[in-house]
Amino acid sequence: MKYRYSDQEEIDLSVLHIRKRRRLDGTIGIQGSKNAVLPVMAASLLHRGITVLSHVPAIEDVFCMMEILEWLGCSCRLEEHCLTIDASGASMLPVPDTMAGRMRSSIMLLGPMLGRFGEAKTSRPGGCPIGKRPIGLHLAALKKMGVRVRTEGEHISASVLKLTGARIHLDYPSVGATENIIMAAAAAEGVTVLTGAAREPEIEILCRFLASAGADISGTGSDRLMIRGGRTLHDTAFAIPGDRIVAGTYLGALLCAGGQVLLREAPAEHMAECIRTARAAGAFVEVRPDGLFASIKGRPEAFSLVTGPYPGFPTDLQSVMLAAASVADGESLIQENVFENRFCAAKELQKLGAHIIINGRMARVTGRSSLCGGRVQAEDLRGGAALAAAGLAADGPVRICGYGHIRRGYEDICRDLQDAGAEIWLEEQTEDAGCDREEEADGASGSRGSSAAAGNCGPVHEDYNHYGDGQ
């Protein structure tokens, strides 16, 4: 249930309930990838015609991107995971703060808007619970292509007489900057050579989509891309692959709960680090023709992981592995190298009895045989999903507020986990359940993490953002 509490934002006050610990056993169909579909939707703006996307997840971020595209004059229809975008009537309008602010990835419209209209007006993604999200790399690259950028407070105005291909090197492989550059370069005159590009699978998917619409891109999948711009794009139909982060979340949930699952259509070829870590934690994981099968008997073993740009361990799965480590046998070490504030789920996991000590980039987790019930607050998308996974390892009932964060990226986490036998359901609520109040965890028996450790959850490292907010 949505509740509008200001002109700026709507929040979803529904509460997730998990009854108690139960082993998973079943098959979960993996939805289409959020991080792939969003840039592909943005790129559809480059074509004055029709784009048809299949296997599109019905998630809040997709609805938000549809709303922005419609605001810009596109017509969008989403039916049974098939999204048709007609961008023939699009025209330049400033993206309102209320829309841009709802979704950090709205910044990825910068490249396509410049490519289509020669102009873009939107606002900075701003800070968010997982980190600052600067955009200096995006802006510096676009300037190399002839774009003039003006920023006033949170607002960004960019314009260009003629987008021109350029040689661009990224000092850090930013996913969003790579995507913005590719989309602008596809519309630019001349050749763009991009080195130091991010190699996340979603970038390869964006390149494949653009190529299917007529763009000329080589080096796809590598950190050196060459885009010959200015090709006229044509109507295209494209299938969005399965979401490796959602599949990894459910693998993490399996580590928490025990049992077995088949993750149908999980993109195993893009999950190597995640699979390696699950195996190190004692799971049996097998790639099968219909998906990824995984099983684990008893508790996971302690494990270590270090997040990093692809092909490193995805930062988006760090929170769920923090949950898994909380019930592992021994001490696990988890190092976060991508976002400065991505240990935020730790504070809520501690309310369920997890022993987590955070020191800078490092979390030291001493596993216990089970967690306890309690009431916790999802504060970001992946952290929220991690709490649901942790709930599967709790002896008592768990309530998770802040479901609005989770539905940004998970189409129906209850349906998915129920398909694997979990007792989880959503209670629609119109009034604030008061989750942000500090509460003793139900049945916690004095086992909460130390407040000192919880207090360490604020921004810990400024040095994640070297490529800061260049103007």
The residues annotated as belonging to the active site are 128
Q: Is beta strand 24-29 parallel, antiparallel or unpaired with respect to 259-264?
A: parallel
The two tokens of residue 353 are 């009895």
Name the residue number minimizing CB distance to ligand UD1. Answer: 176
**Contact string (CB under 6 A) for ligand UD1, positions 372-401, x = contact:** ------------------------------
The 75-79 sheet, strands edge to edge: 75-79, 82-86, 50-54, 236-239
Is residue 176 at the binding interface for ligand UD1, with CB under 6 A as the rule?
yes
Q: Indicate which single residue of 338, 352, 398, 454 sits in contact with ligand UD1 (rule: CB under 6 A).
A: 338
Tell me the one-letter amino acid at 352: L
Nearest CB to ligand UD1, comparing residues 44 and 315: 315
CB of residue 255 vs ligand UD1: minimum separation in angstroms?
Answer: 20
Dist. CA 177–CA 156, nearest whole Å: 15
Q: Which SS3 state, helix, strand or coil, does residue 263 take?
A: strand
- 105 CB-near residues (< 8 Å, 6+ apart): 38, 39, 61, 65, 125, 176
Nearest CB to ligand UD1, comparing residues 202 and 273: 202
The two tokens of residue 238 are 């494209």
Considering only the stretches 72-80, 227-235, 410-418, 458-466, report the one whose residues sit in contact with ligand UD1 under the rule CB under 6 A: 458-466
Enumerate residues 425-444 that contact ligand UD1 by CB under 6 A: none
**Phi and psi, residue 284, nearest 5°:** -90, 125
Cα angle, residue 416 at apex, residues 415 and 417 outer, rounded to 5°: 95
Q: Indicate which single residue of 172, 228, 362, 447 sits in contact with ligand UD1 (rule: CB under 6 A).
A: 172
Dist. CA 101–CA 227, nearest whole Å: 30
Q: Indicate which single residue of 16, 30, 120, 175 sits in contact with ligand UD1 (rule: CB under 6 A).
A: 175
Tell me the one-letter amino acid at 340: E
78, 58 Cβ separation under 8 angstroms: yes
For residue 88, the tally of other CB atoms under 10 A from its CB is 12
Enumerate residues 118-137 that contact ligand UD1 by CB under 6 A: 131-137
Enumerate residues 183-222 that contact ligand UD1 by CB under 6 A: 198, 200, 202
CB of residue 233 vs ligand UD1: minimum separation in angstroms?
Answer: 22
CB of residue 88 vs ligand UD1: minimum separation in angstroms?
Answer: 26
CB of residue 351 vs ligand UD1: minimum separation in angstroms?
Answer: 24
Q: List residues binding ligand UD1 (CB under 6 A).
A: 35, 38, 105, 131-138, 172, 174-177, 198, 200, 202, 315-316, 338-339, 464-468
